[in-house]
Chain A
Amino acid sequence: MLEFERDPWRVESLRVTRVTRETEDTFTIELDAKPRAGFVFQPGQFNMLYAFGVGESAISIAGSADEPERLVHTVRAVGAVTNALAKAKQGERIGVRGPFGHGFPIAEARGKDLLLIAGGIGLAPLRPVILYAIQHRPEFRSVTLIYGARSPKDLLYPRELLSWASRLRLETTVDRAEDDWFGHTGVVTKFIEGALQNPESTVAMMCGPEVMMRFAARELTTLGVPEKSIFVSTERNMKCGVGLCGHCQLGPFLLCRDGPTFSYDRIGPLLSIREL
Chain B
Amino acid sequence: MQVESLSRALAEHPFVAGLGEPEVSFLAGCTKNQRFGAGEYLFKEGSPADTLFLLRDGRVALESHVPGRGNVKLETLAAGDLLGWSALFDPHSFHLDGRALEATLTFAVDARCLREKMQSDTAFGYALTRRLLYHVHRRLERARLQQLDVYRAGL
Binding site for B on A (CB under 8 A): 25, 76, 78, 119-120, 148-150, 154, 173, 175-179, 181-187, 189-190, 194, 208-209, 211-212, 215
Residue of B nearest to A149 (CB): B151
Question: B21 near A: Cβ within 8 Å?
Answer: no
* Contacts beyond the supplied A183-B76, A185-B73, A215-B145: 18 A-B pairs with Cβ under 8 Å: A78-B153, A150-B151, A150-B152, A154-B151, A177-B73, A179-B70, A181-B73, A185-B74, A185-B76, A186-B75, A186-B142, A186-B146, A187-B142, A189-B145, A190-B75, A208-B150, A209-B151, A209-B155
Which B residues touch A184, using CB under 8 A? Answer: 59, 76
Q: How many residues of B contact A (CB 8 A)?
A: 25
Question: B69 near A: Cβ within 8 Å?
Answer: yes
Measured CB to CB, the closest approach of chain B to A111, in angstroms, equals 28
Measured CB to CB, the closest approach of chain A to B114, in angstroms, equals 25
Binding site for A on B (CB under 8 A): 59, 61, 69-76, 78, 80, 101, 141-142, 145-146, 148-155
23 A-B pairs (CB sep. < 8 Å) = A25-B153, A119-B151, A120-B150, A150-B151, A150-B152, A175-B149, A178-B69, A178-B72, A178-B73, A183-B76, A185-B74, A186-B142, A187-B142, A187-B146, A190-B75, A194-B78, A194-B80, A208-B151, A209-B150, A209-B151, A211-B150, A212-B150, A215-B145
Q: Is the CB of A175 within 8 A of B151?
A: yes
Rank and list the top 10 A-B pairs by shortest CB-CB distance, nearest first: A120-B151, A150-B151, A209-B150, A185-B73, A186-B75, A177-B73, A187-B145, A185-B76, A184-B76, A179-B70
Q: A182-B101, A185-B74, A185-B76 are in contact. Are A175 and B154 (CB under 8 A)?
A: no
Q: How far is the CA of A187 from the CA of B150 in the complex (A)?
A: 10
Q: Is the CB of B151 within 8 A of A211?
A: no
Q: How far is the CA of A183 from the CA of B148 in the complex (A)?
A: 21
